[in-house]
Amino acid sequence: MNLPINTSEAELIIPELIMLFGLIAIILIPNLGKASFRIPLTRIRVPVLIGGSRFKSTNNPKLPNQISLITFTSALFFGLMQNSYDTIGETLEVTEFSRLFSLIFIAALLLATIATTHRLPARVNIKPPNESDSENISTKKIDALIDNRRQVDFHIILIMVGLGMSLMSMATHLFMLFVCIELASLSSYILVAFHKESKIGGEAGMKYFIVGSVASAVGIYGMSLLYLWSGDLSLDALAIKWSESESVDPLAGIAVGLMLVAFGFKVGAAPFHLAAPDAYSGASSPVAGLLATASKAMGFVALMRILVSVTMPVEGEAFWYTAIAVIAVVTMTWGNLAALTSSNPKRMLAYSSVSHAGYMLAGLAAIGSGLGSEEAIELVLTAIVFHLAVLVIFKFGAFLVLSLLETEGRSHRLEDLHGLARREPLVAGSMFLFMLSLAGVPPLSGFLSKFLMINGIVNISAGTGASDATSVIDWLTSVEPVFWLAFAIVINSALSMFYYLRIGLVMFFEEPEDSRTLKDALSLKLAIVACAILTLLVGIGPLSDSLLEMVAEAINSFVSN
């Protein structure tokens, strides 16, 4: 039999195949029914299963959620088990790097699925409203029915996002990379706009879609220019061509610049971040969490592929160094300043994620300075990837808390968080941990990642100061400007402390508007507490060590390519 891929290749992409089968299952299973086909002229009915009135088990509105939970859990499990790496065809390559990112994406999606169980609840026995119902009850019933109806849609799209992202991390061909990004992006636009009956949801999705597609268009334009220049879009060929050319060809330079726009939008770098806060606050919290973690990680994979493996010269500074450095500083400062003034927790988290993108871009800029040794570059890359990995834990954790609040009200005002400690002490404690971790307080994982970042930048730059400088001023004037990036991160961390602490403050010290305990969303609460514990464990101790090792291996495989 001539399968499109052989078994040894299939083994490499088990998590992706699982997601594919999950996708098919989630489309097919809820449609299974009693439909049958009568063979003409006979009385024999052959069941065809698709269509007709559905079986009781397939009619269960909770089914899609369960399928997608199973899909992501098993994908995560098999992804962790996997240890063979090879290329697949011309355009995909499974490496430690891609595997790690697949895991990051799948973990984020799994959390999103858990949160959706309660955020977009399916209720089994909902009757349509009848005339005796009051208006209030009938709207509630209709809402519940709509929620039931669109369970499938949500989870199909969620799995599509996973497929797109996961394949994207394996792509070694620019075209493949772009297609996968678009698959994930388009799906995420729909997710953002999923609550289209509410004004804000539709607006957010529309805005995000328009800005995102403009960015993509610009990126594709850049890509086509790049194709014009090299005639081949595989990353290896591009890298070879790039290293052969003596100086940067203007055509190629413009092309890469245009592509930066597209990827800059994905990571939320200033000034392309403007749609992000609207999108986050309009989307439901699990989706917003997805955008802040997985989508950002996806953007960074693309950036790292383009900037580090293709256009990084063997020695000397990369042509994009200044641009990225400026963008990094602007992004982190802008994000923090905007977050300071925002009173909507979701917008605040959105801006905080913008500023986190700034920190990571600063790392990229430090690489671009071309001052670092190979080890130093690897260290910075490790810091970036480690940060992306732990973001899933504590940033998504914060969004999980918000979605817990959303299960019964809204979470777009700071007041909604008031007095959470009195209603749900464990959840509030976890949220406080997430905030501290975001701010970078030791010994939490957010500190370790920020630490590694500053570490890497200082490592690259501190050696550049004149060694015979005898006074501080002499040394500071002789050191490369990269050193100041570390300072920018430090100052910004201090700045960000204000708004992270404010959340902690209102949770513990304001009177709650509503003193009831929150709805019994057990799995969501468990996920929140698990995230909080992981935030601590990955910050210090053996677990952080093994994660760091994993990241270091991934970076090894990335650099050696």
Partner 1 sequence: MTILTLTPIGVGLLLLILPQILPGNLASSIRKFSRNVSFGVSMALFAFATYLSFTTFGGIDWIGINMGEYELMNNEPVTLISSIGVSWIVGVDALSLPMVWLTALLIPLSMLVEWDAKEGHIFHPLILVMEGALLGVFVVLDLFVFYIFWEMTLIPMFFLILVWGGDDRKYASMKFFIYTFTASVIMLVGILIMYFHTGDISGVSGTLTGHHFSLVEMNTEMIQSEGLRHLVWILLLIGFATKMPSVPVHTWLPDAHVQAPTAGSMLLAGVMLKMGAYGFLRVAVSLFPESTVVFTPILIFLGMASLVYGAWVCMGQTNLKRMVAYSSVSHMGLIFLGIATMQPLGIAGALFMMFAHGIISPLLFAVAGAFKHHYHTLEIGSMRGIAHHSPYLAAHMMLGWMASLGLPLLAGFVAEVAILIAFWMSFGWLVLLPALTLIITAVYYLTSMQKTIFESNDRHHGILPESLHGEEPRDITWNENTSMFVLGILTVVFGIFPFIFFDMMSDWSTEFIREVLLNHLIDQGVKP
Residue 115 Cβ, how far from partner 1 at the closest point, in Å?
Answer: 22
The reply to whether 455 sits near partner 1 by the rule CB under 8 A is yes
CB 265 within 8 A of CB 291: no
Asked whether position 557 contacts partner 1 by CB under 8 A, the answer is no
Task: Examine residue 467 and tell whether it contacts partner 1 (CB under 8 A).
Answer: yes
Q: Is the peptide bond before 61 cis (omega within 30 degrees of 0)?
A: no
Q: Three-state SS for 409?
A: coil
Kindly state the smallest distance separating residue 524's Cβ from partner 1, in Å.
17
- Binding residue for partner 1 (CB under 8 A) from 436, 503, 507, 532? 436
**DSSP secondary structure string for all residues of 440-498:** T-TTSHHHHHHHHHHHHHHHHHHTTS-TT--SHHHHHHHS-THHHHHHHHHHHHHHHHH
Minimum distance from residue 367 beta carbon to partner 1 (Å): 16
- Residue 265 near residue 211, CB atoms below 8 Å: yes
470 forms part of the interface with partner 1 (CB under 8 A): yes
Candidates 30-38, 132-140, 252-260, 436-444; binding stretch for partner 1 (CB under 8 A): 436-444
Residue 541 binds partner 1, judged by CB under 8 A: yes
**Which of 452, 482, 507, 531 touches partner 1 (CB under 8 A)?**
452
Binding to partner 1 in span 357-386, by CB under 8 A: 375, 379, 382
The SS3 call for residue 37 is strand
Q: Which of 214, 274, 505, 530 binds partner 1 (CB under 8 A)?
A: 505
- Provide the minimum distance between the beta carbon of 351 and partner 1 in the complex, in angstroms, as a whole number: 18
Place of tokens 């010290």: 509
Size of the site for partner 1 (CB under 8 A): 54
With CB under 8 A as the contact rule, the residue among 463, 519, 537, 561 that binds partner 1 is 463
Q: Which of residues 205-264 bind partner 1 (CB under 8 A)?
A: none
Q: How many CA atoms lie within 13 A of 302 on its CB side?
A: 33
Would you count residue 544 as binding partner 1 (CB under 8 A)? yes
Near partner 1 by CB under 8 A: residue from 326, 490, 522, 526: 490
Q: How far is CA 206 from CA 187, 196, 338, in A?
A: 13, 10, 22
- Phi/psi region, residue 316 (left: phi>0; alpha: psi -120 to 50; beta: rest), is left
Question: Contacts for 536-545 with beta carbons within 8 Å, 24 or more apart?
Answer: 536/433, 536/443, 536/444, 536/445, 537/445, 538/390, 538/393, 538/445, 538/448, 539/437, 539/442, 539/443, 539/444, 539/445, 539/446, 539/447, 539/448, 540/442, 540/443, 540/448, 544/445, 544/448
458 binds partner 1 (CB under 8 A): yes
549 lies in the site for partner 1, by CB under 8 A: yes
- Identity of the residue, 185 or 459, whose beta carbon is nearer to partner 1 in the bound complex: 459
Q: Is 46 near partner 1 (CB under 8 A)?
A: no
Residue 271 preceded by cis peptide, ω within 30: yes
Binding piece for partner 1, criterion CB under 8 A, among 72-80, 88-96, 269-277, 471-479: 471-479
Q: Which is nearer to partner 1, 55 or 498 (CB)?
A: 498
Q: 38 has which bridge partners?
A: 45
Q: Which residues contact 21 (CB under 8 A, 6 or more apart)?
A: 71
d(Cα 480, Cα 459) in Å, to the nearest integer?
Answer: 12
Task: Let me know how long the chain is.
Answer: 561
Quick check: 514 binds partner 1 (CB under 8 A)?
Answer: no
State yes or no: residue 486 binds partner 1 (CB under 8 A): yes
d(CA 344, CA 432): 17
Work out how close the CB of 478 gets to partner 1 at its nearest, in angstroms, rounded to a whole number.
8
201 vs 429, which CB is nearer to partner 1?
Answer: 429
> Considering the complex, what minimum distance in angstroms separates the CB of residue 336 from partner 1?
13
Residue 124 binds partner 1 (CB under 8 A): no
Residue from 451, 519, 559, 561 that binds partner 1 (CB under 8 A)? Answer: 451
Interface with partner 1, residue 408, by CB under 8 A: no
Q: Which residue has the tokens 């369960």?
A: 66
Positions in the binding site for partner 1 (CB under 8 A)? 375, 379, 382, 425-426, 429, 436, 439-443, 447-448, 451-452, 454-455, 458-459, 462-463, 465-476, 478, 486-487, 490, 493-494, 497-498, 501-502, 505, 508-509, 540-541, 544-545, 548-549, 552
